[in-house]
Amino acid sequence: MTEPAAAILIVEDEQIVALDIQSNLERLGYRVVGTAASGEEACRMAAGFEPDLVLMDVRIDGPIDGIETAQRIRQIRDVPILFLTAYSDAETLKRAKQTEPYGYLVKPFAEHDLRTAIEVALHKRAADAQVRETRDDLQAILDAQRHGTVMLDEQGRIRFASRAVRRILAVDSADAVGRDLRAVLPLPEGQVAALVEICRVPQELRTRLPVVLEIEDSPARHLEIEVADDPRDAGGRILFVCDVSPLVDLRGQLDQQHVFENMLGKSKAMRQVFQLVEELARVDSTVLIEGETGTGKELVARAIHQLSGRSGGPFLALNCGGLSEELAASQLFGHRRGSFTGAVADQRGLFEASSGGTLFLDEIGELPPRVQASLLRVLEENAVLPLGESQLRPVNFRLLAATHRDLAEEALQDRFRQDLLYRIRVARVRLPALRQRRDDLPLLIRAFLATHCAATGKEIHAVSDEAMALLLDYSWPGNVRELRNALEFAVVRCRGVEIQPDDLPPELFQPSPTPPVEESGADEAERIAAAIKWARGNRTRAANLLGISRATLYRRLNELGLDHD
């Protein structure tokens, strides 16, 4: 079926010219819905005939000219305007542009020029409509999300704020768009500085920022802000804002003696960890945090930072697993523009960025040997030498490190510098595996259930006795992280108000032997082989079990001469 001919309104005060244009349009296959000789008549016809396009003479008789008529028509209905005129002076063009016309055709014109101008205008109109529809769909999707979305330009001004964010901040779209984020988001100066710092660091180093928003005559809101780069704008940022106030309230209902700096536990082993964290927060020594993957080593590092005299400074974290020597050095020490291929701008390293605060190096045993030597020098001299510079820069940070490896054994095997081990192991915290603190399981399960219900909006009140028995029986090789993910899986699947066995991940129904990484006396090759066997050949799961990245696992397989297959 052919599309109906486009309906066109002609606005021309010279009748002979209007009739000539009408004849041209009808020969070209368009439908003329009317001709108007004045601006008032044009406005009435535009409202009544609903044309697809208006051909508008710039100079027409009457109190209003074609440009003002176009402005009035655009207020009545959104219709493309194509100007026709014998006048093309700069002032006329300037006034015409203010109406955002779809074209400007200078008289006299040939019939094919008229056709081309109309087709371009109609195509642009259709394209604009599609863009608006896509934009409206995207806005509707973002407005429907429970989490808020804010888009910022390079200067930190708001380009878009979703309905959830506007509700949280008690502003409407007109009051938010175009303003500096800090003017709309009233945060304490320290939290503003932390948000600015997170926006500056590379995306892979960013963590969620918890903030407390206090607006006059409103209860305090607890928010978590996650920052991502805007893929359309190198300097822009996208903020995902989550109101976790209900979660904070739920956590507040838990017995406070079992909550310590976002860590939960009532077992003897965890109470000893909490006491040690408090003691280590009072000093500025380097701390090595040891424990299997998923036991919460970064939580311990954050707790030490928050309780220390450096809590007002930044807390920056870097996972050393899988980093090349060049990338690790660049991230830690920073570099000058042009110091190596790809260094297109100066970059401050994490040693400097964490000045006055804490730097947490997770999986420090994965650091390349040359970077280990440079790290030792920084710790000894309290100064850093960025790549491409010759002048040392003083630094003032506290180092907290974490590993799942036995670094003493690694040092004996010449895979970790012994002098660096002595330097970072001034104090140490050993985290128990989850199977060694089973008394904490019910507390953790209840807390994670509340967390995931608040995040998904589901109303799940409990875990059934059968499901709880499975959770308590499992050995949790992935520790607290695996437990949290298992509860999230169950909440997503659950269709009732109580978690049932069928809602739990399938691995909980399989025999769960003691993870191979605990075997004493086994060298690395034996541990890796045992992990792969235990994971039934799944390299990703074996890497997670060993607490290393998949890339690191393949690298160690090559170095140890183990068969990939």
Q: CATH no. for residue 69?
A: 3.40.50.2300
What is the model's pLDDT at position 519?
44
What is the model's pLDDT at position 565?
54
Residue 327 belongs to some domain of the structure = yes
What is the model's pLDDT at position 2?
55
Q: Is 252 helix (H, G, I), strand (E, B) or coil?
A: helix
Structure tokens at 292: 């299997």
> Are 327 and 419 in a shared domain?
yes
What is the model's pLDDT at position 399?
96
Residue with tokens 């299997």: 292
Which of 410, 430, 450 terminates a domain? The answer is 430
Residue 166 belongs to some domain of the structure = yes
- The DSSP code sequence of 357-426 is SEEEEETGGGS-HHHHHHHHHHHHHTEE--BT--S-EE---EEEEEESS-HHHHHHTTSS-HHHHHHH-S
Answer whether 564's CB lies under 8 Å from 529's CB: no
> Are 225 and 321 in a shared domain?
no
> Are 228 and 202 in a shared domain?
yes
What is the model's pLDDT at position 132?
76
What is the model's pLDDT at position 487?
95
Which of 84, 104, 137 terminates a domain? The answer is 137
> Are 124 and 225 in a shared domain?
no
What is the model's pLDDT at position 251?
55
What is the model's pLDDT at position 74?
82
Q: Which residues of the chain have pLDDT under 50?
A: 1, 255, 512, 514, 516-521
Which of 380, 411, 430 terminates a domain? The answer is 430
Phi, psi of 301 (to 5 degrees): -60, -45
Domain that holds residue 413: 268-430
What is the model's pLDDT at position 520?
40
Residue 307 CA to residue 279 CA, distance in Å, equals 10
> Are 531 and 452 in a shared domain?
no
**CB environment 35-63: b (16+ within 10 A), e (fewer):** bbbbbebbbebbeeeebbbbbbbbebeee
What is the model's pLDDT at position 305?
95
What is the model's pLDDT at position 429?
95
What is the model's pLDDT at position 564?
55
Instruction: Give ∠ CA 520-522-528 in degrees, rounded to 5.
Output: 120
Residue 160 CA to residue 167 CA, distance in Å, equals 14
Selection from 207, 211, 209 nearest residue 188 by Cα: 211
Residue 229 belongs to some domain of the structure = yes
> Are 449 and 501 in a shared domain?
yes
What is the model's pLDDT at position 91?
67
Domain count of the fold of the chain:
5
Structure tokens at 536: 């039934």
Phi, psi of 386 (to 5 degrees): -60, 155
> Are 421 and 273 in a shared domain?
yes
> Are 439 and 349 in a shared domain?
no
> Are 389 and 469 in a shared domain?
no
In the chain, what is the straight-line distance between the N-terminal and C-terminal CA atoms, in Å?
60
What is the model's pLDDT at position 299?
93
Residue 201 belongs to some domain of the structure = yes
